[in-house]
Structure 1
C-alpha cells in the first residue's frame, strides 16, 4: 500500500467560504451511481460511514457495505445494496445503520434503525422503519443510541434502539458522543462545533472551528476533519482544536477514530488509514470521486 506523508499546511480558506462549503455538504444527499451487478471490485463513491470489527475494514456506501480485498478492491458484504446513510459499530461489535432500501426493494423508503450482529451479512429491523433516515449515528458508553434525523433536523436518543425521545432541533452534519460521559454530544454545524452536556436536549457553541465530521474514540482521541480535508485533534471537550495534517484525496466523506492513534478517513479518491495519529496515511480502498459523503 502506498504511504502518504502529511505536507505543509495549505492556505486556509476564509471563514465564509469554508462555511459555504459545509453548507453544500449539509444539503447534499447521494443519488444515482448504481452498484455493479456482480459487486466484484469496481471503485465505489458516496461513502457514508467507516468502521472496524477485529481488523476488518467495513465501508458503508450508497451501494451497500463493502470491505477491501487483498488488492484494496471493494467486495460487497452480504447481499444488501441499500443506501446506508448512517452507520456505526458499537462497543460490542454490532453494526447499526440507517438510510434507504436499494432500488426495486420492497419496503418503506426509510429504513429507520437496523442492526447486524454478524458484520453486515444479515440485518434486522430495530425501529422507526418508514419514519426516519438517520444521517449520523453514534453510541455512548452506556449503549445509548444517538441518531440525527436529517429530514426533520432533530436529534433522537434511545436507550435500547427501540423507544426514542426527540431532543434538540439543529442543523448538523455529524455527531460524536463522549466515550466517558454519555450525556455529552458534539455536532458539526455551519457556524462551528456545538456541544450538549444534557443528552442532546440543548446545545451551545463549543468552538468556531468549522468541521465536517467528528469522532470521539477515547478521552484523548477526539478528532475532526474540515471540509477541505484537514484533520484536527480536539481537547477540552471540543472547545480547542489543533491542526494535525491534510488527509490525501481532497474533501472528506467520513471519519472514524478507532483509538488515539488509529484513524479511518474516506475522501474523494479513497479510504485511508493512519496508525500514527494522522501523520501518515495508507490507502485501503479506492473511491471514485463523489459529491460528498451525505
Structure 2
C-alpha cells in the first residue's frame, strides 16, 4: 500500500464524520452538564461490561447519557477523543488531542473515564482507531500511518505502514486483524506486521465481538455481516440516518451504530433499529 498520512484516508473515504452514543442510568456522570447539551463530532462508542453503560468519545470530551437520555460529560476532561475502546470493567483506552493542541498518545482510565493517565507516545502519536483483545492494545497511529501493538501500554511493537480508517481484531485469533481502506478490507494474519491489499466491499467501520458475527458498515450506512472472518460479506440492512460515524458490536446480535442523525441500537442482528440518542450534524473530524 502507498504510504500516506492516515488523515488522508479519512478524507478519501469521505468518512471524516461526527459520531455518537447512549445509555439509561446516571452513575458516574457529571451532573453539572446541562440538558441542553448536544452531541456531535463523535469518534467512538463503548459499552462498559460492569454496568452496561454506554460511553461516547467526542471532539469535546467523553459523554454518557443520563436517565432522560441527555448526554452528560464524564469527569471534567473536554479534550478531543479520537481513538477509544473499552478494555475491561471501567478500564478504557483512548487517544486524540488536548484542547491546547498536539497529540495525546495512549491514555488510560481505570475509573470509567472520570480521570485519565498518560501511558506513552504523548506528543508523538494520535491513534484514530484502538481495539483491545487478547491482553493487547491494537492501535492505528494516524500520525505515522502505522499499525502498532502494546501489552503494557508503554512498550510498542511497530507493524505495517498502511492507510486505514478503522481496525478490528479477531476475538479468537490474536494474529488476525482487519483494516478498512479505500480499496476495501485489508487482512493481516501476523498481528499487524503485514497486510494484504484491501478487497471489496469498501467499509468504513468494523466491529468484531463474536467469531462468527463480524460487522461492518459501509460509507452509505449499509450494515454488512460476515460469518467467515471477513472472507465473504452479506448486507443485512441499512442503519437509519445516513453516513456512518461509529460501530460497536456488543454481542452476536446486539449492535450500536452512530450515523449523522443519531445513535441506533439493534438487538436482532441489524434487522431493526431504535434510536437511542439524537446527534447534532457536524461537518468533519
Shorter-normalised TM range: 0.7 to 0.9
Counterpart position of 2:40: 45
**Mapped pair 1:130 → 2:123:** yes
Counterpart position of 2:194: 202
Counterpart position of 2:97: 100
Counterpart position of 1:264: 256
Partner of 1:165, secondary structure, is strand
Change (3 A) 1:185 1:49: same
Q: Deviations 1:162-213 (Å, cap 9, x if unpaired)? A: 1011110000000000101011100000010011000101111463100000
Q: Distance in 2 between matches of 1:167 and 1:55?
A: 33
Counterpart position of 1:181: 173
Counterpart position of 1:85: 82
Q: Distance in 1 between matches of 2:89 and 2:34?
A: 30
**Mapped pair 1:165 → 2:165:** no
Residues 1-294 of structure 1 aligned to structure 2 (within 5 Å): 23-25=12-14, 28=16, 39-41=33-35, 42-53=37-48, 54-103=51-100, 109-140=102-133, 142-205=134-197, 207-292=199-284, 294=285
| C-alpha displacement of 1:79 | 0.4
Partner of 1:238, secondary structure, is coil
Structure 1 runs, 4 residues or longer, greater than 4 Å off: none
Q: Deviations 1:226-271 (Å, cap 9, x if unpaired)? A: 0000100013211111111110111011101011011111111111
Using structure 1 for the length normalisation, give the TM-score.
0.84
Counterpart position of 2:4: none
Change (3 A) 1:205 1:93: farther
Mean Cα deviation higher: 181-190 or 64-73: 64-73
- In 2, are the aligned partners of 1:207 and 1:240 still within 8 Å (CA)? no
Counterpart position of 1:4: none
Count, aligned residues: 261
Using structure 2 for the length normalisation, give the TM-score.
0.87
Mean Cα deviation higher: 278-287 or 219-228: 278-287
